[in-house]
Amino acid sequence: MEIAEVFDLARWYQDQGPKTGRLYQELQTVLQHNASQNQKQPVREPLEKLISALKALPMAELSFQQVAHLDDMGVACFLGVRGAEFVERVVTQSSYDPATSASEIKTATDTVNATVGTFQNLANTLKAAAFKTDNEAEKLDSDTAMARIQFRQDASIRNIAEMKKWSGDWNDIARGIGHLVGETPHDMKVVGASKGSIIVCVTGSMMLISAFAFMSKKVSGIVLDVLRVQNAIEDLRHKRLWNDTIEKSMKDDLKKREGALVDEIIAGLKERAGDGFVQEHDAHLTTAVKKYVDFSKKGGEVDYLQPPEPEFEEDQAMGDHEESQSLLVTELRDLISEIRSIKSESLLLEDMSGEVGDDPQ
């Protein structure tokens, strides 16, 4: 992550972490009491308050990298929908054991609360070392947006040959999608890159990045469907209800959905472009969508930076350009929120897949 993103994550957590920690603590106190005392206290109210608050956490404000960093710190699994599922499972599981529940919730409480101090100390240290809270390089004009292409898993770049291959594919993707808005790969600027699981930061017009985000949302949905089917199959195996016929039927249904995905995305992109799309570019668009789907199926991801909401004077009427720009920004922000919500659900399913895959006792 960029330093500015570290500051943003620290600010986000210092705002959300303390109140989340307090609700965890309220539940943990009740569970601890019930584990050690004969006279039990009601669990429902603190449980429902915590679950509702966890589900309401604005996780969509965080980038994929920021969420991944919270995962590395061991706290992401206690936040958002993943945290709500964890709490509900621990407290309401059929073999309810107050002592075990209290212990697990205490671990979560301690982790959530300790992370508040970790981020506070980190932010103070970075400021003392003269790091700036804002990244000047990422300040974009109102007509521009930013995306981050992450080459990971089977879509990673480990050598020059793979770099050449993926560069060619992304040139084709940018060309095909660019035709929708009258732009070329030259208009999509590379403004940064990170090592490790290589992340390339690119900028483009609001219209171009919005078209990419629309495509990302569609592809994220099918990735989520794959995880759902995999988990369902594992769940059936776990319950000893699985057989070859059921698995084949489920996988065949998924293949039909995947097979229709490219056509669905192309139709949606053309509808968005309206009269702006020229039919002679149909082959380029098809190639772009197919290569983007292949990139995603191999584990590659594209995340998007939330553009700031447009600022207009309250007493000033918006012109056609300002009104159009405002609609584009609103659409892009909504698309990014949907993509990140799908990502959160995917992470939850990945969390659950390990549990489902355990051997039954």
| Domain presence at residue 298 | yes
Q: In angstroms, how far is CA 262 from the centroid of its own chain?
A: 22
pLDDT tens-digit readout, 178-190: 999 999 999 999 9
DSSP character string of 26-53 = HHHHHHHHHHH-SSPPP-HHHHHHHHHH
Shared domain for 230 and 341, answered yes or no, is yes
Q: Are residues 109 and 208 in the same domain?
A: no
| Domain tally, the chain | 2
Of all residues in the chain, the percent with pLDDT exceeding 90 is 47
Reported in sequence order, the residue ranges of the chain that DSSP labels E, i.e. its strands, are 144-150, 189-194, 199-205, 301-304
pLDDT at 137: 43
pLDDT digits (tens, 9 = 90+) for 62-78: 998 899 999 999 999 99
Indicate the pLDDT class of residue 312, thresholds 50, 70 and 90: low
Contact 262, 215 (CB under 8 A): no
* Contacts for 209 with CB less than 8 Å, ≥ 6 apart: 145, 146, 147, 203, 304, 332
Which tens digits make up the pLDDT trace of 80-101?
999 999 999 898 874 567 788 8
More confident: 315 or 311: 311
Check whether 321 has a pLDDT greater than 80: no
- In this structure, the answer to whether residues 121 and 211 fall within a common structural domain is no
How does residue 177 score in pLDDT terms, banded at 50, 70 and 90?
Answer: very high
Give a yes or no: residue 321 inside a domain.
yes
* CA 337, 340, 346, 347 torsion-angle sign: negative
Q: Is 138 contained in some domain?
A: no
Question: Do 352 and 211 share a domain, yes or no?
Answer: yes
Given this model, what pLDDT does residue 217 score? Answer: 93
Model confidence pLDDT, tens digit, residues 240-292: 666 777 777 877 887 788 778 889 999 999 998 888 888 889 999 999 999 99
- pLDDT at residue number 228: 81
Average pLDDT over all residues of the chain: 85
pLDDT of residue 276: 80
Q: Which amino acid is located at 4 in the chain?
A: A
Ranking 193-197, 228-232, 346-350 by mean pLDDT, the lowest is 193-197
Same domain for 350 and 218: yes
* pTM reported for the whole predicted model: 0.77
> What pLDDT does 203 receive?
92
For residue 157, pLDDT over 80 is answered with: yes
* 264 domain-assigned: yes
Structural domain harbouring 227: 204-356
Are 9 and 119 found together in one domain? yes
**Contacting residues for 361 by C-beta, under 8 A, at least 6 apart:** none
For range 122-139, the mean pLDDT? 74
Q: What is the mean pLDDT of residues 343-360?
A: 67
Of 109, 65, 126, 112, residue with least CA distance to 304: 65
What is the sign of the dihedral through the CA atoms of 123, 126, 132 and 136? negative
Residue 141 three-state SS:
coil
Least confident of 37-51, 105-119, 188-202: 188-202
The pLDDT of residue 107 is above 50: yes
Q: Where residue 135 falls among pLDDT bands split at 50, 70, 90?
A: low
Q: Looking at the structure, do residues 217 and 120 belong to the same domain, yes or no? A: no
